Structure formats: structure tokens, C-alpha cells
Structure 1
């Protein structure tokens, strides 16, 4: 296991790009963390049982307005920052698209145009489109691919919803920092460096990690008060609920295949800064969040890759090579999944089939010796430039069910997981989180009230929260999500588990909410569970919730409370022309540590609808500029 430094509060001023909580991918670790830096003193190896969570009952405090010390390290001074450099970026603009297209829809439409999907540059293409805009932006990594795409797309006649789509080029001059230079004074071992990138709080005692996470919530609520101009707003926050498991808790990881600092082929995590010319792969053995099953499987594949000297590992600098990455899932059911991703370009079908049989034989023999059980063993052939598992590329199953799925359970309910499915990666903590949401949503607002309840599961995904809440006192559960595949999975999950009081609607929440309310039980209590992506939901969703007077309670689940502040504020703003409907007020909050040794966690916040009379007085007070009156009524 990793040692802990004496100096647990050293900091690294280099910034780290955000990463998804769902996937600890090979691409997630190519930049150093801003939480923990290289230790300046020799490292000792203390016992690691000191970071186990305590079982004391959580105490409740009230979010208070105080100037707390920042738990993030100070950045370099302006004088020490490298001088910004100008960078020319050429992009392609598609104009007159259907304004209701999301980015995914626009890309699907583009790929259906004449032979676009067959062009050599299509795998490198990145397309973005803002909601309700009529244009999309295409970016390609090289001048050659940009020019080829521009010429080809300009030669096409493209029509979307009756409008002729035009192709334009525009050039941006942006300011950027030069590549970070390698720190020659960094004395950390490769394992310590990768630990600082993947689990930046690993040096801290677990209780101290929980304290830091609670401070982040306090600061987010300070910002909410500031934006609402309501200094006396208080939100009771319970102590952070510790993860039942703090070691080996991840049930999904993506491991890169490359070379370690000694030049040996390795399966693990990317270390260093690729742009600075420093790029190696470090074994995951010793990292606190990776379980033994994954480490064993990674080492089996590593031994196989080292044997295949005729097949090179993938090289990011040249976008060439064969072995790319490994995706693993280790659900609580023991139905483990291992998928090897390789670049099949330039290899005949016969050669790939021979490779598959060799890989299957090696893995079965080695896993039998290690007593490692794998439910799905597969390969994915991908020749694109992205260092991640490709969700749209099929998996060829070498052993296991043809659909390459495994099973996970939550509260006894069974869920099917494919290689690219979103599913929480800490099983034990997920049940803690969902139980909290279930309990809060089930409580009646008025003591002694016993009304039928309709649960609106917004941004429901594959339906896990709603299905897990179905045994509660809900007459009807209605899930809404914009992704058709997620809705189909949710319906299948409900049918598989025999849940009959749930139905699903596909479309934007703001458009489907009216339909959902028409299907709800008349005169029932309407409770919303909202579990959006990291960035929260669009303002239009918040406005539609406010305008639905039947909704008087919301349980909001946020995986990034700092980004969700905008949604919190919009729910609570006084009634106005822009924000119609009676506002809500936060009544309590809780924090669940789903990701020990990292900065990430889940925040649950309960909102109640403000009494209409109080809301009207508050709106009048704000309109007259009497902030003190507003505060007294909060």
C-alpha cells in the first residue's frame, strides 16, 4: 500500500482538469492534482488502518456565515505564472441546424450526410452545439484534417428540417499557457504521483477528508446566500456520512496500456503530463481505491501484453500501436467484466481472430491459477484518437453472455449493466445515498398528514433511484429523461424487477413535466427527486418546476454542489416575471462520501415550497430594495 507523508498538507499549484465521478479512466490522470504535492521530506510507511470511518452517530449543525479557511492550496503568484502565448484555432461552423437538436442529435444528423461517416477524419471530429442554438462547432486536431473536413463538408448540399445548412470557417486567436515543464525536484515515487492524481486526499486521515468535504458545502451555501441576498438563510447540515468502504471501493475503472518509467509494458494509470513530453503508465497496485480483483486482472493482461512483442502498445504521440486500454467492472454480484481495447486497423480478420483465441487461452489459464472469476471477457477494436472506452463501438464477447452485460443489485433489485452504462461506482455507499433520498422523500411535509404520494423521478437515467424507492408509500412513480436509450433501459429494469407502479416519459423535463402531472394521482402529494449531471439542469427545468404548483417538495441530489448553486438559487428566487411560481426554501442538507480519498462526494438537499403569502411579501420587499425585510421573513 501507499505510504503517507509526514507533511500531509503540502500543496501543488498545478491545476487538474475536472473528471467524471463515474469512470476512473486512463485519461483521467494525465495532469497533477491541486490537492497534494510532492513531499519535501522522506516518506515513511505508517499503518493504513487510521483512515477507517468512525461509527459515531452524525451530529447536526447549522450552516453558518463564517469566513472559513480555504481547503484548497494557494496558487502561484501572478509574477510566477508563465507568460500567456497566443494560439490560432481554426474551426468549422454548421449554420441553420434544427435548434432543438442536442449535441448528440447534431452529430448523428451529420454522420447521416453523404458518406461523412466514411471520411478518414470523422473519428477525430469533435462537435458541440448549445441548446436552442441553430449552429454547431466542429473542431479537428490537425490542420490537415481540418482542411479536409472543411473542403468535403462545403461540397455537400445538406438540409435539416427544411433549412439549407451552410458551412463556414472561422479563426480564433486564444490565449493559452505554455506546456508545464517537468519538475526536476519532484521526489515522489511513480506510485505516489499517480495516487496524488487519482486520490488526491490519500495522505490525510479519513476524518480530515470528511471535514474538508463539509467545508466545500458550507462555502457553496455561503455563495447561495450571497446571490439570494439573504444573509440569515440557514441550512442544517448533518456530519458527512462516511462511505462504508474506504479501500478498493471502485467497481469500474479504465486502465491504460503503455510503458512504465523503466520502459516495461504496463497496465495501469497514465502518469505525468503528456503535453510536457512526460507520459508513462503506472501499475494500480497500492492505490487505495482500486480493488484486488481489478489488480489481479490488470496483471494478467500485463503479462499477456509483454508476451506479444510483435504487437506494439498504443503511442499517443503518433496515434499508432495495437494495445490501448482495459475496461473493468466488478459489481457486488461477482459477475466481473474485462474488456480489452485494441487498434485493429491494418490487421486482417484472420489475424484478429487468432489474437482473440490467444488472449482467451492466456486469460483463462492465468485466471484459473489466481482463482479469479470473470463473467464477461471481450475485446473492442477502436482506431480513434480518444483515450477512453468507445461507447458506440461494439464489444466482441470471447466468453460470457452475447450482450456483454453483468448484473448488479441494489436493495435486492437487479440491474443489467453494459460496458458503457452509467452506474454508481461505490456499491455500499450508493445504498446509503439512495436510502437517505428514499427516507427524505417519503416523509410528509405536514406532521400527521397521510396523503397519497406521486414521485416524479426527474433525470431518471436507467431508473435506479425510482425503482429502489418503489417499496415506499408511493401510489405512482413517473420517471423522465431525455435519453431514449436510458428510458428503454429503465422500462426493462422495472419489468425485470416486477415494479408495476412506475412509468417513464422520454423528452426534456421542462416539456414532459405537464404530461407527468396529468398522469399523476389526483389530489396526491407531489414529490420530486432530481438527480442531474455534474453541471446541474438547465434554467428552463427549474422554471418549469417552480410553475407546477402541485409540486411542494424537492429532494435534490448533486454530485458537484459548487456547480449546482445556480440551480439552488433559481429555485429560491422571489417570484418575478422571469421566475414565476412560488419559490422554494432549503430545509436540510446531508453529504454522503461516495468517493473516499478524492475531492468528490454527493450532496442531498431538501427544498419545500414557501407558503404563498410569505412569498408575496418577500417579492414586494425585494422589489422595494428592503433586504432587511426579506431577511427577517426568511
Structure 2
């Protein structure tokens, strides 16, 4: 969910000391061959795989805010004040306004976009340097006053139609039609908010736009109303479209079941199947069509299962020579070409070797683990979402990778159980790639207490947000009440921006943190 003030857009996240460019040589990621080794501390991992398999309780937004971000941290990151729309959006202005909000840099040449993002990342690191100094982190500033060297942004290989996933809502359009499928300009509480079709967005694939248009035609012919509010009796809520580089396409229709009996839901599924396999929608050539009947803002597959209407259970994306199964709720970077650049950057900056054990915290469906597996002794992925861990295991088997283990559970509970096993490993590198909300403070504390971890690579799509608090806690030498923390801190050694979101203000920042033991 991209949020901008004045708009809500549902678009669907051993280097030591000074690093020289000679040491950051680009490494080639081989396709499927991997180093043949004994399973990584297999006995202990087998025991752990049987533990912590309970699906985490879904938190409300209020609970998430309280549990994941302490009050003293939340005061440091203040949301800009929302300014309601003052002028009605018209048919003539809607597409230009949508482009300005979704792709605000689209009018600038790509090299200038990268310059702008480089300046943004410079400011982020400059702020980080100040914050680390306040907590007495043992940093050594560069000649530019940064806490570590900052490389120029690595560009996306694709800058047009690069998005492999889009999530669209249903509200009234500029013509007043309540069944307009698109992105929202304004907030739901704003009387001037409208839904604008993605007709001219340059970062969205034409195949996605075609599916959106066909689905809009379908619901406009439907007797059921759109669900603008949960209590208004409507059912049509959202549409998610996913696709792969090979052209496979998946659509997920989200409805609010209201008081519909099971037979009523099946009737809707039958109508969708006829439309997309025999009717107008057949031109979309969908490979997979799902429906989810969810009564909450968002439901896990356990709370509201995804119902296969037609086609295959999943589509398959290829990244770094590996095949990844894409299910309706699988996390996968929205820019596949950019993801390959990102994962090569992680491998390069981590300087892994055949004796390295890689800890993949927040592993999701296992992309980082499996891409790195051929180059390390073994990988251990941890994620609190059981379904994601199951998908990761399937992806490992599909790619004939045997030196990757995936454990369901919260990182702050799993890592202490791994401590003894990790101490038997000669080189342990951790990679974290959390959502925009960053890592829970308990996870940061647990990472610092896990003395076997010598390096940490933090991938953040919003480093100026709550991830900044994670960076500060990693480097702090001040414990509660200004008492010295006994655990050795991690300090930033090198930072590389990677652009996965051309034409927007967003990008990924990869930071190498080294543990300071002296």
C-alpha cells in the first residue's frame, strides 16, 4: 500500500572497515548448481522444524502499532498532515493526477530520477550518522560525513511496465459510477475521493490493464453492488493481478460475502468462471483465477481460503535462474528484473563463501535463501507466516536445492534456539528484508545477542521510516537507562541503493552492518 498525503493508492515489502571498490566485484549467480555439503547442523534444525508452527495471531492496526513500535520511536516519525481534496477531479484531469501521484518522477529522464534518489539516500545516511552518534555507536565517518560509504544507485533493467503485481480497489469514478476499478485519489473519508482506472500508467503492464477493464465490465453487469463500506451490503471489493516474465497471468477477486450463503458464493464463482473462460474475459487468457471471501480488511489464507475458480493453482516466475511458485498471497518483489539486481547486490556485499551459513530472517517464500544457497554451506530461513515457509520449502524442492532449511515461527523465539547450533558454524551472515514497518525491537535485540552472527545485511524499502529505528538500535552502545549494553553493536560499513521502483520516489537500500567486537 503506497500512501501519499492527499492520496491513497493501493498498488498492491566479511567487509571490514573501509570497503574498496576492488573488493566489491560482481559475482555471478549460477542457475541451479550448488555446493554439495552436509546438511547444516541437521539434527538441531530437524527438531526446530517441528516447533513454532502456530500461525501468528492477526493483529489489528492499533495492536501492530503498539506491539511493533514503542511510543518513544513513534514520536520520531510523524506522518504529514493529510490535506483533503479541494477541487473535484474530472475526466480531463484524472489520468494526469493519477500519474503525478503514482509515478511522480515519470516526466524526468531516468538518469535524473536516479540522481534524485541518490540525494534522498544521502540524506537518510546523514540522518543515520547523527542518530548513531547520539547513542555512542562506534562509527567512523566518511569524508562526506556519512557513517559509511554510499554507492550510486543501481538501476532497474526495466523501467516501463515492470510491475508484476497490482492491487486495485472499487469506488465511484469521476462519472459517478460506483463500480469503477482503479486506484484511489483521496481518502475514503474525503467526499471528493474517486477511483481512477490505470489506463495510462507507464509502470503497469498492458495485460494487467486489460484484466482490470474486463473485470470492471463484469461487475457493472452484475446484480451485486460494490462494497464501499463493510456495512453497505455490497460484495465487490478488490482485484489483484499478478503476472510473470513468461506471460503467465493470475487474477484474485476479493469479495465481502455479507450474508451470502455458500451456494451464493459458488454462484458468483461460476459466473466469474464463465466470463473469463467463455465470455468477454476469455481474451485476458488467465492462467489462474481465484476468489477470496473476506469479511475483514485483510485475511490470511487460514482465515479466508483462496478458492480456485479456474486454471492452475499457481504461476511460476523465474529469477536468477531459479523457478519460484507464485500463489495468490506469495510475497515476491514487484520488479523481477530489479529483484535480480537486488539479490546479486546482496551476494556481493555479503562476501559469502562455501563455509558461510546464511540466516534469512523474514524469509517469505525463500527467494534470498534459494538464490544464495549455491554459494554457501547452507541457509536457514525464518518466517512467522507458516504458509510462506511451506511455499519456501516447495520452491527449494522444485529447484533441487537441498542445503536450505525453513523454520516457521517468530525470529525472536527461533533465534535463541539456534544459538548453540550457530556457534558450531565458522561464518554466519544474516539477511533481513522486513516490510516497511521494519523489525520488531525484540528481533533486533535477539540478533545482537546472537554472538555467532558476524555480519548483517539489512534490505529496506523505506529506510527513512521505522527501519531507521532498527539501524539505531543495532548500533547503540546505550542500554536501558543509559546503562552499557553487554552485546556487541553492529555498525554500517557500506550502503548500496537499488532501484526497483522507476518513476516513483521509492527504492531499496541495502546496508552491510559489521559487528564491532573490540
TM-score, normalised to structure 1, is: 0.64
Give the distance between the partners of 2:372 and 2:453, measured in 1 at CA.
18
Give 1:187 shift. Answer: 10
Gap change, CA 1:342 and 1:570, over 3 Å in 2:
closer
Is the contact between residue 254 and residue 389 of structure 1 (CA under 8 Å) also seen in structure 2? Answer: no
Give 1:186 shift. Answer: 9.1
Which of residues 63, 74, 77 in structure 2 aligns to 1:128? 63
Which of residues 280, 283, 304 in structure 2 aligns to 1:393? 304
Give the distance between the partners of 1:427 and 1:270, measured in 2 at CA.
25
Give 1:179 shift. Answer: 7.4
Give a deviation string over 1:463-518, Cα, whole Å, max 9, x none.
Answer: 2101111111x112222233333333323322332221122333333443343343
Question: Equivalent residue of 1:274, what SS?
Answer: coil
Q: Show the counterpart of 2:512.
A: 606
Answer yes or no: is 1:381 the counterpart of 2:293. yes
Give the distance between the partners of 1:435 and 1:366, measured in 2 at CA.
44
Give the distance between the partners of 1:482 and 1:279, measured in 2 at CA.
36
Answer yes or no: is 1:24 the counterpart of 2:14. no
In structure 1, list runs of 5 or more residues that go unmatched. Answer: 1-13, 26-58, 61-99, 108-124, 134-175, 445-450, 613-634
Gap change, CA 1:184 and 1:543, over 3 Å in 2:
closer
Give the distance between the partners of 1:603 and 1:555, measured in 2 at CA.
10
- Aligned positions of 1:228-239 closer than 5 A: 228-229=132-133, 232-233=141-142, 234=146, 235-239=148-152
Give 1:390 shift. Answer: 6.5
Give a deviation string over 1:218-246, Cα, whole Å, max 9, x none.
Answer: 11211122123368354222211111111
Answer yes or no: is 1:513 the counterpart of 2:395. no
Give 1:249 shift. Answer: 1.1
Q: Show the counterpart of 2:36.
A: none
Is the contact between residue 7 and residue 185 of structure 2 (CA under 8 Å) also seen in structure 1? Answer: no
Is the contact between residue 300 and residue 366 of structure 1 (CA under 8 Å) also seen in structure 2? Answer: no
Q: Show the counterpart of 1:335.
A: 248
In structure 2, list runs of 5 or more residues that go unmatched. Answer: 13-19, 22-51, 70-79, 134-138
Question: Equivalent residue of 1:306, what SS?
Answer: helix
Which of residues 590, 594, 598 in structure 1 aligns to 2:496? 590
Gap change, CA 1:187 and 1:487, over 3 Å in 2:
closer
Give 1:295 shift. Answer: 0.8
Give the distance between the partners of 2:411 and 2:256, measured in 1 at CA.
39
Which of residues 92, 97, 113 in structure 2 aligns to 1:209? 113
Give the distance between the partners of 1:511 and 1:356, measured in 2 at CA.
41
Give 1:195 shift. Answer: 1.9
Larger Cα-atom Rg: 1
Give a deviation string over 1:529-563, Cα, whole Å, max 9, x none.
Answer: 12222232233333333344432222221111113
Answer yes or no: is 1:486 the counterpart of 2:486. no
Alpha-carbon RMSD? 3.4
Q: In the comparison of the two structures, how many residue pairs are matched?
A: 451
Which of residues 331, 348, 351 in structure 2 aligns to 1:439? 348
Which of residues 122, 127, 131 in structure 2 aligns to 1:227? 131
Q: Show the counterpart of 2:57.
A: 105
Give 1:261 shift. Answer: 1.1
Q: Show the counterpart of 2:235.
A: 322
Which of residues 451, 475, 478 in structure 2 aligns to 1:572? 475
Q: Show the counterpart of 2:218.
A: 304
Gap change, CA 1:361 and 1:189, over 3 Å in 2:
same
Gap change, CA 1:584 and 1:374, over 3 Å in 2:
same
Q: Show the counterpart of 1:423.
A: 332
Give the distance between the partners of 1:182 and 1:566, measured in 2 at CA.
35
Gap change, CA 1:611 and 1:177, over 3 Å in 2:
closer
Is the contact between residue 429 and residue 594 of structure 1 (CA under 8 Å) also seen in structure 2? Answer: yes
Gap change, CA 1:365 and 1:568, over 3 Å in 2:
same
Is the contact between residue 228 and residue 569 of structure 1 (CA under 8 Å) also seen in structure 2? Answer: yes
Which sits farther off after the overlay, 244-253 or 479-488? 479-488
Question: Equivalent residue of 2:248, what SS?
Answer: coil
Gap change, CA 1:231 and 1:405, over 3 Å in 2:
same
Give the distance between the partners of 1:262 and 1:216, measured in 2 at CA.
38
Answer yes or no: is 1:281 the counterpart of 2:195. yes
Is the contact between residue 186 and residue 192 of structure 2 (CA under 8 Å) also seen in structure 1? Answer: yes
Gap change, CA 1:436 and 1:345, over 3 Å in 2:
same
Is the contact between residue 55 and residue 386 of structure 2 (CA under 8 Å) also seen in structure 1? Answer: no
Gap change, CA 1:555 and 1:187, over 3 Å in 2:
same
Is the contact between residue 6 and residue 85 of structure 2 (CA under 8 Å) also seen in structure 1? Answer: no
Is the contact between residue 341 and residue 389 of structure 1 (CA under 8 Å) also seen in structure 2? Answer: no
Question: Equivalent residue of 1:471, what SS?
Answer: helix
Give the distance between the partners of 1:601 and 1:177, measured in 2 at CA.
23
Give the distance between the partners of 1:489 and 1:359, measured in 2 at CA.
27
Give 1:603 shift. Answer: 0.5
Q: Show the counterpart of 1:3.
A: none
Is the contact between residue 460 and residue 479 of structure 1 (CA under 8 Å) also seen in structure 2? Answer: yes
Gap change, CA 1:484 and 1:378, over 3 Å in 2:
closer
